[in-house]
């Protein structure tokens, strides 16, 4: 059963990249009205008055009018209209990624994907928001599935759900995959199980013909087609599933100064000065890390499903886990701007390395920080990286050619030696 979280007196809405506010302070808004436009739309999750707009944060004092403003009727029924609707409804990946869904679907359309995988397997035992949504409103999820399949020309749909999730499904058009172990719910593992092939570390599901969407995202698409923008989502709050308005202050849930956003394994501890956003799937008590020094026991290495040398990364970062984790520098690098490329980019943030650490280090947090720093660095320096790769390939090719030439010369000398019993001069060849 999904209950309603009480409406807070204020909502705190964050602006995302390449978007701009379209309201100003003191302006009255109705529920569902657009607050920001651009790459990512934001809407008022309640009627009220905008108190302030400072940089990326808007504070809305909520009122009592609960009549929801709907999006204008769809301009046609073609794919472009549906994509525009998904963008204007402010839909992003609700599984935790937060990537704009219209961009993901655009990439899927360009890659001509053949299968839709609906992920309703929470990766951690304590989170049940996806299962609850599927059980409570499967019809709206199916409306989202139908829209995505029509948009991308997909005939094949798989729904991956826990074996405990009971929901209505249309067996003619969808296949239900039961995933008994929630820690195997990461999309890479689901894909591996379904396609029989391991997704390369640097590839996305669309690269191999699959588009993976979270069940909450599809539900939001189903709602958007009815005219409702994304203003609320299901969140597992201390073990209970609730509909929570986007931008609800975290102090509405607890008097503590910190909470864990996400699961106990893979979540992130944050201050309760912030608010929920579209990616918030779970709120749990903040975790406790003793943060003793690493004893190099290797338990984290053994637990990592991606075979990442985790202990090495923890040592390499040489930082206290509660500190900020900068991009690591290669010990021999003289130029402090040269980052070390580690294996952290393979981290899927499953958090399995945390509970096994006898030193109580937030190992997953360390690796995740390295990964995020590396990804940001890679984005900034992608041209540099490509040039560097090309240079490496060029020097490797030269070295191989030199080796082959030396081998040919040695063979020729040996052959001449055997034929005449003499050694040719240095000018030969
Ligand atoms: S969080 Fe990352 S480093 Fe830790 S076990 Fe999972 S994949 Fe490995
Ligand atoms: S499990 Fe903890 S103590 Fe052991 S190697 Fe990993 S980080 Fe170090």
Highest mean pLDDT among 129-133, 163-167, 380-384: 129-133
- What is the rounded average pLDDT of the residues 355-361? 94
Element (H, E) at 372: helix 363-380
299 lines ligand 2 (CB under 6 A): yes
Ligand 2 lined by 298 (C-beta under 6 Å): yes
Query: How many degrees, rounded to 5, is the angle at CA 90 between CA 86 and CA 96?
Result: 100
Q: Model confidence at 26, in pLDDT bands (50, 70, 90)?
A: very high
Q: Calculate mean pLDDT across residues 355-371.
A: 92
pLDDT at 321 over 60: no
- Helix axes 129-136 and 215-225, enclosed angle (nearest 10): 40
Q: Which residue has the higher pLDDT, 232 or 186?
A: 232
- In eight-state DSSP terms, residue 73 is P
Q: If DSSP codes are grouped into helix, strand and coil, which group holds residue 3?
A: strand
Least confident residue range of 217-226, 241-250, 330-339: 330-339
Q: How many residues does the chain have?
A: 429
Residue whose pair of structure tokens reads 């984790």 in the numeric block? 325
Distance, in Å, from the CA atom of 388 to the CA atom of 136, rounded to the nearest integer, reads 52
- The stretch 257-281 carries a mean pLDDT of 93
| Candidate of 348, 355, 365, 368 to mutate for ligand 1, largest count of ligand atoms within 8 Å of Cβ | 348
Q: What tokens were used for 272?
A: 């309760």
Angle at 158 between CA 157 and CA 160, to 5 degrees: 155
Are 219 and 144 spatial neighbours (Cβ–Cβ below 8 Å)? yes
Residue 329 has pLDDT above 50, yes or no: no
Cα 59 to Cα 21, 98, 178, 204, 403, distances in angstroms: 12, 21, 42, 36, 67
Atom of ligand 2 minimally distant from the CA of 296: 5
Task: Report the mean per-residue pLDDT for the chain.
Answer: 84
**274 falls in which pLDDT band (50, 70, 90)?**
very high
Give tens-digit pLDDT for 57-86: 999 999 987 789 999 988 777 888 899 999
Amino acid 382: pLDDT? 61
Q: Is 305:352 a contact under the CB 8 Å cutoff?
A: yes
* Strands laid side by side in the 282-285 sheet: 3-4, 240-245, 232-237, 282-285, 258-261, 268-271
Quick one: which of 166, 64, 72, 158 has its CA closest to 119?
A: 158
Order across the sheet with 10-14: list the strands. Answer: 10-14, 57-62, 48-54, 28-29
pLDDT exceeds 60 at position 427: no
Alpha helices (H) along 128-270: 129-136, 138-152, 187-195, 215-225
Bridge partners, residue 240, by sequence: 237
* CA 297 to ligand 2: nearest atom: 4
Cα-Cα-Cα-Cα dihedral sign, residues 62, 66, 67, 69: positive
Pocket perturbation via mutation, ligand 2, pick of 292, 317, 347, 359 by most ligand atoms within 8 A of CB = 359
**Mean of pLDDT values over 113-130:** 88
pLDDT of residue 225: 95
358 CB under 6 A from ligand 2? yes
Residue 292 Cβ contacting ligand 2 at under 6 Å: no
- Whether the CB of 69 sits within 6 Å of ligand 1: no
51: confidence class by pLDDT, cuts 50, 70, 90: very high
The residue whose CA is least distant from atom 7 of ligand 1 is 347
Tens of pLDDT, residues 162-221: 877 777 776 566 777 776 665 666 788 888 888 888 888 778 898 889 999 999 999 999
Tell me, using a 6 A CB cutoff, whether residue 352 lines ligand 1: yes
pLDDT of residue 424: 45
Which helix (H) or strand (E) is 411 found in, with range? helix 382-420
> Comparing 64 with 298, which gets the higher pLDDT?
298
CA of 380 from ligand 1 middle (Å) equals 24
% of the chain beyond a pLDDT of 70: 83
94 token code pair: 């609700």
Q: Is 351 near ligand 1, meaning CB less than 6 Å away?
A: yes
pLDDT at 391 over 60: no
Contacts of 342 (CB under 8 A, 6+ apart): 313, 316, 328, 370, 374
Q: Is the CB of residue 311 below 6 angstroms from any atom belonging to ligand 2? A: yes
The CA 292 to ligand 1 mean position distance, Å, reads 19
Q: In 245-346, which ranges are continuous DSSP H helix?
A: 299-303, 310-317
* Beta carbon of 364 within 6 Å of any ligand 1 atom: yes
Pocket test for ligand 1, best of 351, 357, 375 (most atoms within 8 A of CB): 351
In what side-by-side order are the strands of the sheet with 156-161? 174-178, 156-161, 115-120, 210-214
Tokens describing residue 331: 């010990």
Q: Which of 289, 356, 363, 370 to mutate to test the pocket of ligand 2 (most atoms within 8 A of CB)?
A: 363
Q: What's the pLDDT score for residue 423?
A: 47
Q: Which residue has the higher pLDDT, 338 or 257?
A: 257
303: pLDDT strictly greater than 90: yes
Q: Using CA positions, which residue lies closest to atom 2 of ligand 2?
A: 357
Whether residue 12 has pLDDT greater than 50: yes
Nearest ligand, CA 300: 2
The pLDDT value recorded for residue 399 is 56
Q: Mean per-residue pLDDT for 267-272?
A: 93
Greater confidence (374 vs 105) lies with 105
What's the token pair of residue 407? 């081998």
Q: What CA dihedral angle connects 411, 417, 419 and 421, to 10 degrees?
A: 180
Question: Which pLDDT band, with edges at 50, 70 and 90, does 398 fall under?
Answer: low
Smallest CA-to-CA distance from 130 within 254, 241, 287, 271 is with: 241
Q: Which of 96-100, 131-135, 377-381 has the weakest average pLDDT? A: 377-381
Query: Which range is least confidently modeled, 30-39, 89-98, 387-396?
Result: 387-396
- Give me the sheet containing 42-43, strands edge to edge: 19-21, 34-38, 42-43
Distance in angstroms (rounded) separating the CA atoms of residues 247 and 238: 18
pLDDT at 204: 86
Instruction: Lowest mean pLDDT of 38-42, 360-364, 419-423, name the range.
Output: 419-423
Tokens matching residue 156: 């094949």
pLDDT, position 428? 40
Q: Which of 10-19, 152-161, 186-195, 251-260 has the highest mean pLDDT?
A: 251-260
């Amino acid at each position: 059963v999904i209950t309603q979280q009480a409406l807070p007196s204020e909502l705190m809405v964050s602006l995302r990249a390449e978007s701009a506010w379209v309201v100003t302070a003191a302006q009255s808004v109705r529920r569902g009205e657009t607050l920001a436009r651009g790459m990512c739309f934001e809407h008022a999750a309640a009627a009220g008055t905008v108190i302030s707009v400072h940089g990326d944060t808007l504070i809305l004092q909520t009122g009592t009018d609960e009549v929801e403003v709907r999006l204008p009727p769809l301009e046609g029924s073609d794919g472009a209209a549906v994509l525009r609707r998904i963008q204007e409804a402010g839909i992003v990946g609700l599984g935790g990624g937060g990537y704009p869904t219209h961009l993901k679907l655009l990439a899927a359309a360009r890659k001509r994907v053949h299968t839709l995988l609906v992920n309703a397997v929470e990766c951690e035992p304590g989170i049940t928001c996806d299962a609850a949504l599927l059980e409570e409103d499967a019809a709206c999820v199916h409306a989202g599935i139908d829209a995505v399949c029509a948009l991308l020309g997909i005939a094949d749909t798989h729904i991956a759900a826990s074996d405990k999730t009971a929901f209505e499904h249309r067996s003619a058009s969808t296949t239900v995959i039961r995933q008994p172990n929630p820690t195997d719910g990461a999309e890479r593992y689901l894909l591996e199980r379904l396609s029989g092939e391991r997704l390369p570390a640097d590839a996305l599901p669309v690269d191999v013909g699959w588009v993976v969407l979270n069940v909450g995202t599809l539900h939001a698409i189903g709602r958007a087609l009815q005219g409702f923008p994304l203003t609320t989502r299901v969140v597992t709050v201390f073990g209970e599933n609730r509909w929570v308005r986007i931008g609800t202050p975290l102090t509405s849930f607890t008097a503590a100064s910190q909470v864990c956003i996400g699961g106990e394994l893979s979540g992130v501890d944050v201050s309760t000065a912030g608010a929920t956003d579209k990616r918030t799937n779970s709120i749990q008590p903040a975790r406790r890390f003793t943060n003793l020094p690493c004893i190099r026991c290797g338990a984290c290495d053994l637990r990592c499903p991606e075979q990442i040398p985790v202990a090495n990364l923890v040592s390499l970062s040489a930082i206290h886990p509660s500190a900020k984790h900068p991009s690591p520098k290669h010990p021999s690098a003289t130029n402090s701007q040269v980052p070390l490329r580690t294996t952290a980019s393979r981290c899927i943030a499953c958090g399995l390395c945390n509970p096994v650490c006898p030193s109580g280090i937030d190992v997953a947090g360390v690796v995740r920080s390295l990964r995020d720093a590396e990804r940001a660095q890679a984005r900034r320096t992608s041209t540099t990286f490509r040039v560097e790769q090309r240079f490496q390939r060029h020097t490797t090719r030269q070295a191989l050619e030199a080796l082959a030439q030396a081998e040919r010369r040695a063979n020729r000398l040996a052959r001449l030696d055997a034929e005449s019993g003499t050694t040719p001069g240095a000018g030969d060849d």
